[in-house]
Structure 1
Amino acid sequence: MSERRGPFAAAVAAARARGELVVQPRMGFGDPAAMRAGLTAVARARATTVGTITLDSYTRVGDQAAAARALADGSPLNGYPIVAHPVEVTRWVLGAAQEQGVPVQVRHGSARPEEIFAALLRTGVDATEGGPVSYCLPYSRVPLRDAVDSWAHCCEAYTRLRDVGVEPHLESFGGCLLGQLCPPSLLVAVSVLEGMFFRQHGLRSVSLSYAQQTCPEQDEEALAALRRLIDELLPELDSHVVLYTYMGVYPRTTEGALGLLGAAARLAVRGGAARLIVKTPAEAHRIPTIEENVAALEHAARVAATERRAVTSAPDTGIYAEARTLIEAVLELSDDIGTALRRAFERGHLDIPYCLHPDNAGRARGYITAQGRLAWARPGRMPVRVEHPVGGRPAEMTSDGLLAALSYVATRYDEATPPTLGPAEPVLELTPGRRHNRTSR
């Protein structure tokens, strides 16, 4: 598959061959000098890293005029406005990481990303992420039909990087969705379906995602199901799995945040993920600094190094079968994956719990069991069999119950030492290092 890899996918594949977990920040700054400094620091971290340019909110929603005004006024931005900056500036930003052999992925959050993909093509960035469902329903009010059409055009346009000898890589955000209170089978199914959508529109190198949830054992099973479905449904693609550190309410204490990050690093190794998206202890309070990002990357890398990369068979509680049923129900609706996805949401065959987008049916509900696992309180019209615990169906979620559920993970890690799946993680060093653990670039 090496002939189908651009710099980003090749770097991840090389790390996997060495038995190393790739750790990646979610870093983004509006100022080019700060963005370049961030990429330089990530490249120099004592970890196997890839860089990130996270885009600002104006660019994500297509308000390029507002992004340009913010640059002119010197107003702060919460990410890098890649469309507003000249191509030469972005190439200068990228140059620092490229000189050290560290590839960069652009992360954005846009339901209609045509201008963003055009900027990627101009600058030659070979890796980005998102998807027609995962960047539409959770984060926008753009009609799903429009998002599907936009992403189809963007995927096809992105393949033009092959004209200059570069194979583009696209990561599905489908394993995250709203980030919490969504049973794993739906996360796995949407990630695989978006991977199939990417393939239909010309992509040959992809990564499929899953976000750490409430129960390590359940997450291991979900990752095993995701890997199996990739092997069955996307075998010809160059692919890898990416795990996101918990995307919901984050622990407020440093100890709790580091415990959760350490658990994510161990889960990534045990679950066979090639890449881990890292969060910092500052996440609950503010946007992290460059130094805090690097310290978190190094902490995750140290914890991962203590965990044996021996992927085992997780107990089967039905996540694979449920995800496969959801995927097949969608594929029965049309040979065109985009059309099938639209029809699936129209009919409620896919339904994201607690998602308020107009195109989401909103009938499905998830809850956290007494054992800490995510389960369906009710599946709406999805083809999902629900077995309720002794005593009947869980009570309808109240506002207080929803707040408690959203804070479940943060509270658990802030108030108690979490159960571990491996050796305790080492103490976080707060000063970023300058040497690499890579044996090759």
Structure 2
Amino acid sequence: MTAVLPLRAASFGDIVAQHHDRGRLVVQPRMGFSDPARMRQGLIATRKARAATVGTITLDSYTRLGDHRAAREAIATGAELNGYPLVDQDAAVTAAILDDAVNPLFPVQVRHGSADARHIIRALLDHGLHATEGGPVSYCLPYSRMPLREAVDNWRRCCEILAEARRPTREPHLETFGGCMMGQLCPPAMLVALSLLEGMFFAQHGVRCISFSYAQQTHPEQDEEAVAALRTLVGEYLPLPRTHLVIYTYMGVYPRTPAGALRLLAESARLAVRSGASRLIVKTTAEAHRLPTIAENVTALEHAATVARTELGAVKAPDTGILAQARALVGNVLSLDDDIGRALLKAFAGGQLDVPFCLHPDNPGQARGYVDGDGRLQWQRIGDLPLGDLVRPSGAGRVSSADLLASLRFMQHKFDCSAAGSVLDEAPGHRPLPQHEGSAP
């Protein structure tokens, strides 16, 4: 890597805040291409979209896993990757991509999925970029078999590298992915707790500009309540001047019809506005089939922005106990150790944090969530989570694979059906959700 290049963007968090203060929802794609020309075209198209946007460079799988030999071989042979190989691409090539594509009003976030992002963070800083995402839990448990202890150590150093890069004109930004664990079938209280805890971990290790994520789930009112709970807890535990909330459009099995996909995207935009979030990560009509094109990404950005402009604004969601559950989870973890990294390790080792359906060896695997007959995510089993006085798990026994698939495809079925105006037949992948708690996973 060459010497540090000139700063290419103002503070990511400040730009998002400026849009939010003007009543604009910032919309952002997941875009990443291995071809430098397409990556540059994608950034420029995002910047020129009819919306308040920030850019994204999503990295390839080899880079995420630290397989630099494979990344270099792909670059040398011209093989197509599923993202941009930022670490191993020639620095001059990356500089040419960023030149004039990024400006002080259009910052770029580097997205990846690595349990050890030290090399990625050094590379993005070398290129004058300063915004990324991840976390010691959220980028370990779903995506790797790395021991959680190693991931905590890696992410401690990642935070320190970002903090050391702080300058008067640059405030590095880190987004916790904790509110997106497993994409689906994780009850909202756990998502809220993990998002907050990872943000607190970042702050404990020097990061001062943080965004807290929450992934859209299966019920709009429940999601609004969850985001309100996250906002409340951020204010209580981490009242930094540079924080904001970011919503992810549904990360589970996506509608297969274009109309269904657009309806689901629109619902996520309404969730962002109604919950007072500042930023939305969008999905496209191609999600169920393949990687989206630049044009499909731009269409998604503009569609979400249009819906957001017509939404009336924040609402107060009914309280069904998500805040109390999340507060209990967070308070219990913080009682285990003053060092949040060690506290996280102790909590997972003791079952006091447990992500449903996560198969990582360091996850206890005793808790389970399910979608009830109203479309809300609930606890089926809580294992050793400190929630016994706050929830009544359904306690349902073993369920069939068909019932599990039905719950996983709940949103696909709901939005494809509503788009078509009629119920889909019961072909594989379109099985209706069981409407009684005992048969849900």
User: Do these two structures clear the TM 0.5 threshold for a shared fold by scoring above it?
Assistant: yes
Instruction: Write the letter of the residue equivalent to 1:235.
Output: P
Question: Given residue 300 of structure 1, which amino acid in structure 2 is its aligned partner?
Answer: A
Contact 2:11 2:169 in 1 (8 A): no
Does structure 2 conserve the Cα–Cα contact (< 8 Å) formed by 1:174 and 1:187? yes
Higher relative contact order at CA 8 Å, sep ≥6: structure 1 or structure 2?
Answer: 1
Q: Distance in 1 between matches of 2:399 and 2:109?
A: 38
Cα displacement string for residues 192-221 of structure 1 (whole angstroms, at most 9, x for unaligned residues): 000000000000000000000000000000
Cross-structure match for 2:23: 19
1:93 lines up with 2:87 in the alignment: no
Scaled by the length of structure 2, the TM-score of the pair is 0.91
Task: Give 1:393 shift.
Answer: 3.0
Matched, 1:350 2:357: no
Secondary structure of the structure 1 residue equivalent to 2:245? strand
1:369 corresponds to: 372
| Contact 2:10/2:104 (<8 A) preserved | no
- CA displacement, residues 312-362 of structure 1 (integer Å, 9 cap, x when unaligned): 221000000000000011111100000000111000100000000000000
Unaligned residue ranges in structure 1 (runs of 5+): 420-441
Q: Distance in 2 between matches of 1:354 and 1:6?
A: 40
One-letter amino acid matched to 2:336: L
Match of 1:251 among 245, 255, 262: 255
1:145 Cα deviation from its structure 2 partner: 0.3
* Matched position secondary structure for 1:403: helix
Matches within 5 A, 1:6-85: 6-85=10-89
What residue in structure 1 maps to residue 113 of structure 2? 109
Q: Distance in 2 between matches of 1:323 and 1:397?
A: 27
1:134 shift after superposition: 0.3
When residues 129 and 141 of structure 1 are mapped into structure 2, their CA distance, relative to the original with a 3 A threshold, is: same
TM-superposed CA distance for 1:418, in Å, is 11
Counterpart CA distance in 2 for 1:131 and 1:237 is 21
Whether the 8 Å contact between 1:51 and 1:97 is mirrored in structure 2 is no
Q: Would you say the 8 A contact 2:109–2:130 is kept in 1?
A: yes
Partner AA of 1:175 in structure 2: G
Counterpart residue identity of residue 279, structure 2: R
Equivalent position amino acid for 1:117 in 2? I
Shift of 1:99: 3.8
SS in 2 for 1:142: coil
Aligned to 2:424: none
| Structure 1 residue 96 displacement after superposition | 3.2
Do 1:6 and 1:126's aligned partners in 2 also have CA atoms closer than 8 Å?
Answer: no
Report the Cα distance in structure 2 between the residues aligned to 1:94 and 1:149, rounded to whole angstroms.
31
List per-residue Cα deviations over 1:97-140 (Å, max 9, x = no partner): 32473110000000011110110221121100000000000111
**Are 2:417 and 1:415 aligned?**
yes
1:183-332 equivalences under 5 Å are 183-309=187-313, 311-332=314-335
Partner in structure 2 of residue 153 of structure 1 = 157
Tell me the equivalent position of 1:397.
399
| 2:4 match | none
Runs of 4+ off more than 6 Å:
none
1:353–1:364 CA contact under 8 A, matched in 2 = yes
Q: TM-score, normalised by structure 1?
A: 0.91
**Which amino acid is 1:252 matched to?**
R
Amino acid at match of 2:201: F
SS at match of 2:291: coil
Please, which runs of 5 or more residues in structure 2 have no aligned partner? 1-8, 422-441
